[in-house]
């Protein structure tokens, strides 16, 4: 049931499985925009499968989502939208239209842009980002998170978030040589800490992914499978990582996750396969090899069985999409 490969045994998995997952936290496909906009302005952000965040260095700024309506954002506020839901930013709730078309956009590097809207109204300075999570181990966690998280709501649970927001405010307000790089590194750290804060503040459920990652035995197994999904995992080797017998591990895994280890691993591999198929320069055969399948044919059969479509169909669908510029 669990596919085999010739890879060496993975490294020892530490007890703190969440830290194991977060230590690989990287934002990939990152696009940033430093925006200087004058009232009145309004920008719509469509739904997309990317994590987004907006940091307000200087107001006014409001955010609108279908579920929560208009919310005012203040100086130093940061909002994280884990699933990239559709939303709108504006200098006031009654401002409509698309101000982005009238902005002057200057590329500051391969993934950072300066966005300026001229005018005479009050200035809003924002730092916006749109990115994919390089650590696919976080995908199940991201799916459980609320559609919008405000940094100020969790700052009291992490003494580092407040100073980080203040540092980002200072950097965005007085841009210097290398400011874009500094801000992007701060965004990585801040996003990771916000995710951790949310996990720590969530209820102590006895089932589901959060419960599993907190479990001292199952959490180590999840971290191991997400770290190296192409390894030749067997029920015996996974039970060994958990430090339990085969029967106890299998029973506990199914009880907490609601499915067996083989099924969970297969879904994880197919999720990663979709990501890899969207990358240029990686053949289907290489995707199969990375995920521990002995041949392209066996991978293709498993992929279609799990997803209902062939790898080729997914590749053509993904390649036909276009990305938004500079995270906007």
Question: What are 253-270's pLDDT values in tens digits?
Answer: 999 999 999 999 998 899
Instruction: Provide, for the chain, the percentages of residues in helix, strand and coil under a 3-state DSSP scheme, each rounded to the nearest 5.
Output: 45, 20, 35
Average pLDDT over residues 300-321: 83
pLDDT at 18 over 70: no
- Flag whether the pTM goes above 0.85: no
d(CA 272, CA 268): 6
pLDDT value of residue 25: 57
Percentage of the chain modeled with pLDDT above 70: 82
pLDDT value of residue 214: 82
pLDDT value of residue 134: 57
pLDDT at 62 over 60: yes
pLDDT band at 145 (very low <50, low <70, confident <90, very high): confident
Phi/psi at 67 (5° precision): -75, -35
pLDDT value of residue 69: 94
pLDDT at 280 over 80: no
Q: Which runs of consecutive H residues, i.e. helices, occur in the chain?
A: 17-22, 139-144, 151-154, 161-173, 179-201, 209-214, 218-227, 235-242, 246-257, 261-277, 284-290, 296-307, 311-319
Q: By three-state DSSP, how is residue 116 classified? A: strand
Q: What is the CA radius of gyration of the chain?
A: 22
pLDDT band at 163 (very low <50, low <70, confident <90, very high): confident
Residues of the chain with CATH 2.60.120.280: 28-201
The pair of structure tokens assigned to 275 is 């990501």
pLDDT value of residue 155: 66
More confident residue, 85 or 111: 85
d(CA 13, CA 38): 51
Verify cis geometry, omega within 30 degrees of 0, for the bond prior to 60. Answer: yes
- Pairing label, strands 61-65, 78-81: unpaired
More confident residue, 93 or 51: 93
How would you write 157-192 as a 3-class SS string? HCCCHHHHHHHHHHHHHCCCCCHHHHHHHHHHHHHH
- Are the beta carbons of 118 and 11 closer than 8 angstroms? no
Average pLDDT over residues 51-64: 90
pLDDT value of residue 26: 58
pLDDT value of residue 287: 93
More confident residue, 182 or 311: 311
pLDDT value of residue 131: 75
pLDDT value of residue 14: 40
Residues of the chain with CATH 1.10.10.60: 207-319
* CATH for 207-319 (3.40.50.300, 3.90.1640.30, 1.10.10.60, 3.30.70.360): 1.10.10.60
pLDDT at 71 over 90: yes
Average pLDDT, the chain: 82
More confident residue, 162 or 86: 86
d(CA 28, CA 134): 5
Average pLDDT over residues 303-312: 91
pLDDT band at 205 (very low <50, low <70, confident <90, very high): low
Q: Which residues contact 88 (CB under 8 A, 6 or more apart)?
A: 42, 43, 44, 45, 63, 64
Domain topology for 28-201: Jelly Rolls (2.60.120)
């Amino acid at each position: 049931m669990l596919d085999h490969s010739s890879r060496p045994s993975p490294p020892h998995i530490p007890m703190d499985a969440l830290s194991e997952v977060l230590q690989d936290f990287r934002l990939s496909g990152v696009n940033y925009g430093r925006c200087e906009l004058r009232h009145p302005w309004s920008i719509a952000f469509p739904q997309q499968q990317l994590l987004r965040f907006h940091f307000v260095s200087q107001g006014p700024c409001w955010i609108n989502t279908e579920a929560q309506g208009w919310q005012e954002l203040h100086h130093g506020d940061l909002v994280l939208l884990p699933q990239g839901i559709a939303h709108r930013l504006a200098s006031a709730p009654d401002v409509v239209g698309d101000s982005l078309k009238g902005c002057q956009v200057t590329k500051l590097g391969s993934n950072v842009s300066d966005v300026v809207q001229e005018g005479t109204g009050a200035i809003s300075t924002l730092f916006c980002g749109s990115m994919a999570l390089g650590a696919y181990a976080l995908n199940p966690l991201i799916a459980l998170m609320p559609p919008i998280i405000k940094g100020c709501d969790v700052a009291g649970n992490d003494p580092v978030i407040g100073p980080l927001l203040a540092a980002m405010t200072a950097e965005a307000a007085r841009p210097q040589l290398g400011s874009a790089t500094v801000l992007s590194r701060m965004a990585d750290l801040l996003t990771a800490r916000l995710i951790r804060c949310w996990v720590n503040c969530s209820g102590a459920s006895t089932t589901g992914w959060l419960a599993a990652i907190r479990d001292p035995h199952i959490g180590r197994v999840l971290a191991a499978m997400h770290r190296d999904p192409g390894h030749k995992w067997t029920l015996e080797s996974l039970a060994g990582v958990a430090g339990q017998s085969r029967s106890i591990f299998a029973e506990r895994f199914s009880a907490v996750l609601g499915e067996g280890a083989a099924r969970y691993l297969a879904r994880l591999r197919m999720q990663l396969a979709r990501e890899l198929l969207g990358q240029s320069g990686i053949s289907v055969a290489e995707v199969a090899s990375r995920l521990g399948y002995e041949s392209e044919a066996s991978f293709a059969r498993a992929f279609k069985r799990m997803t209902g479509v062939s790898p080729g169909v997914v590749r053509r669908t993904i390649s036909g999409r276009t990305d938004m510029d500079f995270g906007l």
